[in-house]
Amino acid sequence: MDRQLVDQGLKTGIELFKQKEYRRCYKAFTSTINFIENDPDLAVSCLSQLISLLDCRAACLEKLDQLNMALKDGLRMIKRENYNCKGYLRTCKILDLQGKISEALSTAREGISIIETKKDQNNQFRYSKLLLEQLKQLKNTLKTKLDKKNKLHFKVLKFDTPVPSTKKLRLVTSPTIDPSTYLPIELVKLIFSLLDFSDMYACLLVSTKWNSIISSSPELFQNLQLKTQLSNKALNNCLNFLIKTLKSSNSKEIEYLRLKPKRSDEKSSLNTLSSKPLLINALEIYLQNLTLRDLLICRLSSKNGTRLFSNIVHLRLSVPLTRNYESFLIQQFSCLETLEYSIGDYKRVPGDKYLARFTEQVELAATKSSLKTLSVIVLPSYNSITKHIPFSLAFQKNMLSNLTSLTLTGIDFSPVIDEPWLGQFFKSLSNLVTLNLQFNKGMNFAWLLRNISNYQEVLQYNDLINNSSDANEPSITPVLFHSCPVKVLVMRECSVPALNVQSPTPSLLAYDSLKQLTHLDLYGSSISTRELSNLIFHCSHTLTSLSIGNCLNVSFPNDVFDSRSNHFDVNVLFHVPNLEKLYFNQISTFNDYTLKCFGETILTRLEQYSLPQLRWKVLDLSFNKISNTGLYNLFQVSKRQHLRLINQKAPKLVIEFLIIDGCHGTDESTLTYLKSQGYISKYSCIYNKDTWNGVTVI
């Protein structure tokens, strides 16, 4: 009876397969296979039917494009009866469909070997000669496929070997169409320009024509990012090839070069670079054993080195620091406009014979540097025991007064924070547009406010005038107030002290020195609510972006019974007509009640000024204790619906991009509803996102 059920299930599945009912066919085969395998005795007696069922189900799965499941059935067939040709045939076909030709070929060879051995050992062994012949034919077909795939043999070009001449090129291949024959030469060069240098170097071996195109196109080698841990021999071959290629050009200048040599070859690689007659516009170099002192000595040691380094405009360094040599660097690189310096280590050079000579040169040369952008990032691995402030000599000698962008990160200014020269340096930056100060010990917002302009000198002058009987007294030198041209200010502090109520309030003239700000980022700073309001008021006509997340001394109303008077007043934002981006992320006093106060104030102001809407491009409320109710209250959804019912104007707040990452009280349905009603255009809601306190790059 059981055998009849098995035969009936196999017959039903085959009929469904012929009708192309593959899903019903799969279910029929599966139920029959499960019926057999649940009875061990039946599985032994109906082994041939089980093999046929697995084979048919694998064929069905092939039609359903479930090749992995079909492969499992093929392997089960081989496991059940390893001398049955059906299992090997089905498995090889599936592996071939998956593109695993070598695995299919090895499976076919294994099956043929097992069946041939079984046949030799047992003369009465019954097998299908037709299936065995099919398996052998499949093996030959797979072997032919694999040979075609491996027919093309390339001689691998090692980067450390010089480029061979085109006469020695050997390439064994079947006749193919060269795309460079039919494409315009401009398009061919554009394709080559997308390759990195090592791949382009290898393309020289493809054909004579490709070699000619690449070798006669110096514009392809303007932006070079050489591989890391490059040996001196490879660098020498690379530079020689570049010099040969650039001969066809009127200029021998390279736009950008990135170099990170082997640690053992750093000195020889530096000497090789300085000995070549090349000009580099932008250089990015990483050294671990050598120091900044070694780099400067290499610059002076050869005529080509002097010419090479003197013409660099943009320089990015990751080199161990040696005392005061960073200031000499600015003087020696006369055309330098952008310097990015990552300092991870400090190395002292005892008895340095070059130090006195360089110091004397800096003392005599009172000229200002042409440097426009300076970024100094001190990594955590830097040895702070040295107490050396990078570029301190340049600060004291007023060599950097032409800066338009300044980034200082991770520097310990606490030993010199009260030194007059440091404050005088910031006052001398009359062209500064971008100021980025992050995690510098000893620096805080109050210190910056005192030293960013000369307002203290103006106040002292006014006191002298008021206390003097004769305003034209010759001993009193007139002092005119000048504001700072900074438009982008980013301030991060290492630690934020508690707000001291008795601390002196800065003069309004100090805030007026920052009246040209357009981008203000004070995330995690010590600014207070009152200082923030004064600062926003003074730069209200230019400010477009404001970030005050994680400012512990800035408080917001978070409860009906909160009677504190030093809350941030959202009405201040209505005095900033160009405001586009607001970042209120990770604030301890920010909750649903805060959003309700914001929403009510905004709606009242819009009604008062008869404005249809208030539109912000970005509003970031990430990592705050807010929920769906808070979001509804922010946009005043219920009140606006009520106003529309009584046919009154209902102004609204519109946010183009709302960010609420890490706010677990919100859900997607609320955001989808707000988007459908036109309150927001798009949103970001990543609940498991980690808070971030790192360095901001601008």
Residues 105-120: pLDDT tens digits?
888 888 888 888 877 7
Give the separation between CA 427 and CA 519, rounded to whole angstroms.
Answer: 20
Structural domains of the chain, with CATH = 2-149 (1.25.40.10), 159-282 (no CATH), 517-684 (3.80.10)
Mean pLDDT calculated for residue range 6-10: 82
The values of phi and psi at residue 473, to 5°, are: -60, 130
The pLDDT value given to residue 161:
46
The pLDDT value given to residue 683:
92
Give the separation between CA 83 and CA 97, rounded to whole angstroms.
Answer: 23
Give the separation between CA 111 and CA 28, rounded to whole angstroms.
Answer: 29
Mean pLDDT calculated for residue range 145-152: 70
Classified as helix, coil or strand, 196 is: coil
Confirm if 310 and 279 have CB atoms less than 8 A apart: no
Span 161-210, pLDDT tens digits = 454 444 444 544 455 677 878 888 888 888 888 888 778 878 888 888 88
Q: Furthest-apart CA pair in the chain: how many Å?
A: 132
Pairing between strand 253-259 and 314-318?
A: unpaired
Query: Over 90: is that where the pLDDT of 644 sits?
Result: no
Span 41-86, pLDDT tens digits = 777 888 888 888 888 888 888 888 888 888 888 888 888 887 778 8
The pLDDT value given to residue 461:
54
89 vs 301, higher pLDDT = 89
Task: State the Cα torsion 186-189-190-192 to the nearest 10°.
Answer: 160
Span 385-406, pLDDT tens digits = 567 788 887 888 778 888 899 9
Average pLDDT, the chain: 80
Query: Over 70: is that where the pLDDT of 350 sits?
Result: no
Dihedral over Cα of 360, 365, 366, 372: its sign: negative
Classified as helix, coil or strand, 518 is: coil
The pLDDT value given to residue 156:
37
Percent of the chain with pLDDT over 90: 11
Best-predicted range by mean pLDDT (115-124, 431-440, 478-487):
431-440
Mean pLDDT calculated for residue range 532-554: 89
**Range with the lowest mean pLDDT among 162-176, 285-299, 330-344, 394-408?**
162-176
Chain centroid to CA 551: 26
The pLDDT value given to residue 334:
76
The pLDDT value given to residue 359:
60
Phi-psi group of 616: left, alpha or beta (phi > 0 → left; psi -120 to 50 → alpha; rest → beta): beta
Query: Over 90: is that where the pLDDT of 654 sits?
Result: yes
DSSP code for 302? S
- Binned at pLDDT 50, 70 and 90, residue 505 comes out as low
What is the 3-state secondary structure of 116-133? HHHHHHCCCCCCCHHHHH
The pLDDT value given to residue 655:
93
Give the separation between CA 135 and CA 129, rounded to whole angstroms.
Answer: 10
Mean pLDDT calculated for residue range 424-444: 86
- Binned at pLDDT 50, 70 and 90, residue 547 comes out as very high
DSSP code for 163? P
Query: Which of 659, 656, 666, 665 lies closest to 692, judged by CA?
Result: 659
DSSP code for 349? -
Q: How many CB atoms lie within 10 A of CB 308?
A: 21
Query: Over 60: is that where the pLDDT of 480 sits?
Result: no
pTM of the model: 0.68
CA distance to 343, 560, 596, 663, per residue, from 592 (Å): 44, 11, 6, 12
Mean pLDDT calculated for residue range 228-243: 85
Give the separation between CA 676 and CA 616, rounded to whole angstroms.
Answer: 17
CA distance to 116, 120, 478, per residue, from 84 (Å): 11, 15, 106
Residue found by looking up tokens 């990135």 in the block = 258
The pLDDT value given to residue 637:
85
276 vs 504, higher pLDDT = 276
Say how many CA atoms lie within 13 Å of 325 toward its Cβ: 23
Query: Over 80: is that where the pLDDT of 500 sits?
Result: no
Pairing between strand 373-378 and 405-409?
A: parallel
Span 572-620, pLDDT tens digits = 888 888 999 999 988 888 899 999 999 989 988 888 888 888 999 999 9
The pLDDT value given to residue 464:
55
17 vs 656, higher pLDDT = 656
Mean pLDDT calculated for residue range 484-501: 79
CA distance to 445, 548, 586, per residue, from 532 (Å): 11, 9, 17
Percent of the chain with pLDDT over 70: 82
Instruction: Find residue 172's DSSP bridge partners.
Output: 153
What is the 3-state secondary structure of 663-694? CCECCHHHHHHHHHCCCEEEEECCCCCCCCCC
**Range with the lowest mean pLDDT among 448-462, 538-552, 555-569, 650-664?**
448-462
The pLDDT value given to residue 189:
87
Residue found by looking up tokens 């082994």 in the block = 47
**Range with the lowest mean pLDDT among 272-286, 377-391, 431-445?**
377-391
